[in-house]
Structure 1
């Protein structure tokens, strides 16, 4: 504001000085031209009044006229036909006729005439004054008159000096006036600023620009409203920041140049960038994942949202990319949401594997039963010994199929936690009952089974019997002939501990993490020969999880396997 006022005053003063100079030049030129014309008419009248022209001799007239002035005066005498009879500057015979000149025609008609003509070559004006002499001829008197441009340029140095003086004076006066005008306004502005910062009510300074009070009060009111809106936006921003920072999902907001406007800690973890990077940087500074970058570009170019899955370091992530558009449809950026779908993927993989395994496990005995049944039905087997043999195989596969179905039903009941009845259970009793049930297999394999220790807890006795049975059955089934199985019982803190250790074939390290999956077998061919549904250890795992316990496996190929189960001891 100060600069505008100062500049306006200086400009106004400069323009006024220029206009005054131009007006003075025009006025001076007019006065100068009028004086020159008057002087020439006076000289012409004087020298022609007392002249007695005899025999066409005009030398006295010309001489008297030239002697009366000190400037360049030219006298020409022309007869009524326009022929030049005498001239003070040239031989009359060399001059053309002047009958067509306006001032000559005017003098012949009215007695006097005048004309002002400009010469571009000489850059000056020439004034002509004519008088009709008593003998009918015309005397023309002419003198040069400086043009207005010549006058202007002759006075230009003085004019420039005056303009410079005026400009300096205007600058000083404008500076002084600007300071005086704005001093009260600046004082009130500082007063208003101090009032807003201190939170006190603003009151205009008495006697100084009272007209500013409504204006300043309006500013104060707007400032208070802006402060309220800013505080609300800060609260909303902080709330959104807390929410996004505590999200398990990753959230990234990009502008249309793919620069990061906002990114939460979850997104940095997904991208593998734990250290914070300043906002406003390109997404490439957070990740070098070209697949993600290409999908973001595609979504922003097409304007359509898209999603894709990505596997990295044993984890599955799903990316949702949504372009953000303004009301008029212009692209303003993109929103990227990252979700960990590892559990869903693993569950889907397990479901597919389970479906495949169930189909395979059910198909094998059914195929055997169907094949032998068709042979018996078509009379291909007639010998009593063969009928007995193949009938026994059909019965064996039926028992296997029924056992598998029962195991699946039990596993389903365990997952649902159905039929749980809590009572005091001694794991030593469970181990002894399992040993009795597997006595024939133990004797056939020549395996020695020992039970040591004791552990009592509150749980479902039927589920614990099944847990111990399955562990002991696996230890006997996959043991070496003449091997050993040690069952150790005890407590650790508030947990009952069951350990089953065998001297069997062992489990390779790469298979140890999957032996508790349904239908998983380390060696399918060997497992088929030894029977079983492939659900035993899966049932064990689900029973342990049902009672809030944990299971641990340690094994070395060729040396044996040790499985430890810990189940919390419940209070009555």
Structure 2
């Protein structure tokens, strides 16, 4: 009995010891797990988030909300991630704005890297030289089939390392263009060479307008000088004694009268053109019956028709109405009819036709005159431009009529066009919006 009790005691002790160790182990595991979750886990989350941020994933966040000293670290990392994400978003927005600005700017932009390779070319530049982007980017500028004048300009900048501004002409499939080109080296603050930038602006229209302005001044001076010279010359002749010769005096006075009338007509046309071109000039639009306007216009030139034994045939629907200033529209048609009379042979016919199509009324004036060469048609509506200068002056024209007609039609939101064949005649057609009465 005593022996049995002696054997049981160690067994109970061992069992108690095992249970104690088991409980201690479980407690240790639980404590370790809690310590890991509280101290190690947040650090792992922060480390993982930091790695993602380093990779450029600025949307990464450390998902830890439990209270404790670790929450400060997690909050700081998440705040850093948010700031980086906002900065990246702003950078992308600014990059898009810059890209849009460069792509849509009204000047050509070309960037050349430090290795003489083209790194960027905007849409305007590509359109002006007629090349595609994939054929330029990454290619050396000397091998990119750029215009020779532009390559020479870039070479000059590369050698001088100073900005250069030049005016060059570029020939493309779309025609010839005059460009104002500015090219400069790109150098960093430490003096390192980064490449070359080229800015190109199309000044073809400015050159054309400058040419027109010079031609206008020259033509005005010439047109004014002719009658003034005649008036002065014949008046001096009269003062020198020709006034006592009644026949010669009357002849000279008649010339002076005609030249002064021509001078007056020229000044009136200049003032009229200046008034029409003036910004803010308006016309009085109203519903106008086309047949009435054509009738008034024909009556205005009836005297000249009779002198040249010419006739006019008019074809116009009686119910055709347009929105127009009636006086200005009569001015347009009288001008076209006068030209048709002046540049046609005596005894020929003029036809005026009015039709309706697509919300517009078309009024055409067709003659059987000398016609206009095809190469002259693009400049026909320029001020003082004449196909036959001698005949224009003999007919009393100032060279401003068609320019005035063009501006009047633009004020009516209309157009004017011409078709002509030398020796067979010309047809001028105006298009003007219909009246929705």
Q: TM-score, normalised by structure 2?
A: 0.78
1:528 Cα offset (Å): 2.2
Larger Rg: 1
What does residue range 462-501 of structure 1 map to in structure 2 within 5 Å? 462-501=327-366
In structure 2, the residue matched to 1:288 is 146
Alignment partner of 1:450 is 2:288: no
1:221 Cα offset (Å): 8.4
Using the alignment, how far apart are the partners of 1:442 and 1:499 within structure 2?
Answer: 18
- Name the SS for the 2:146 alignment partner: coil
Which of 398, 402, 425 is residue 533 of structure 1 equivalent to? 398
Deviations 1:474-529 (A, max 9, x none): 01110122111001123212212111011111100010111111111112122222
- Name the SS for the 1:566 alignment partner: strand
1:350 Cα offset (Å): 0.9
In structure 1, the residue matched to 2:267 is 405
Using the alignment, how far apart are the partners of 2:89 and 2:262 within structure 1?
Answer: 73
Which of 291, 301, 316 is residue 428 of structure 1 equivalent to? 291
Alignment partner of 1:437 is 2:300: yes
Q: TM-score, normalised by structure 1?
A: 0.60
Using the alignment, how far apart are the partners of 1:555 and 1:321 within structure 2?
Answer: 46
Using the alignment, how far apart are the partners of 1:571 and 1:286 within structure 2?
Answer: 56
- Name the SS for the 1:324 alignment partner: strand
Which of 322, 330, 333 is residue 184 of structure 2 equivalent to? 322
Question: Contact 1:195/1:201 (CA < 8 Å) preserved in 2?
Answer: no
What is the aligned residue count?
375
Alignment partner of 1:386 is 2:248: yes
Which of 83, 92, 98 is residue 234 of structure 1 equivalent to? 92
Deviations 1:62-93 (A, max 9, x none): xxxxxxxxxxxxxxxxxxxxxxxxxxxxxxxx
Which of 483, 505, 508 is residue 370 of structure 2 equivalent to? 505
Unaligned runs of 5+ in 2: 1-43, 65-72
In structure 1, the residue matched to 2:5 is none
Structure 1 residues 195 and 432, CA, compared in 2 at 3 Å: closer, same or farther? closer
Which of 199, 203, 221 is residue 60 of structure 2 equivalent to? 199
Question: Contact 1:486/1:500 (CA < 8 Å) preserved in 2?
Answer: yes
Q: CA RMSD in A?
A: 2.8
1:419 Cα offset (Å): 5.6
Q: Specify which structure has the bigger relative contact order, considering alpha-carbon pairs within 8 angstroms and separated by 6 or more residues.
A: 2
- Name the SS for the 2:244 alignment partner: coil
Structure 1 residues 300 and 394, CA, compared in 2 at 3 Å: closer, same or farther? same
In structure 1, the residue matched to 2:389 is 524
Using the alignment, how far apart are the partners of 2:83 and 2:118 within structure 1?
Answer: 31
Deviations 1:410-467 (A, max 9, x none): 1112222636222222232222222222122111222110111143222211111110
Which of 270, 276, 290 is residue 128 of structure 2 equivalent to? 270
Deviations 1:29-61 (A, max 9, x none): xxxxxxxxxxxxxxxxxxxxxxxxxxxxxxxxx
Using the alignment, how far apart are the partners of 2:359 and 2:233 within structure 1?
Answer: 55
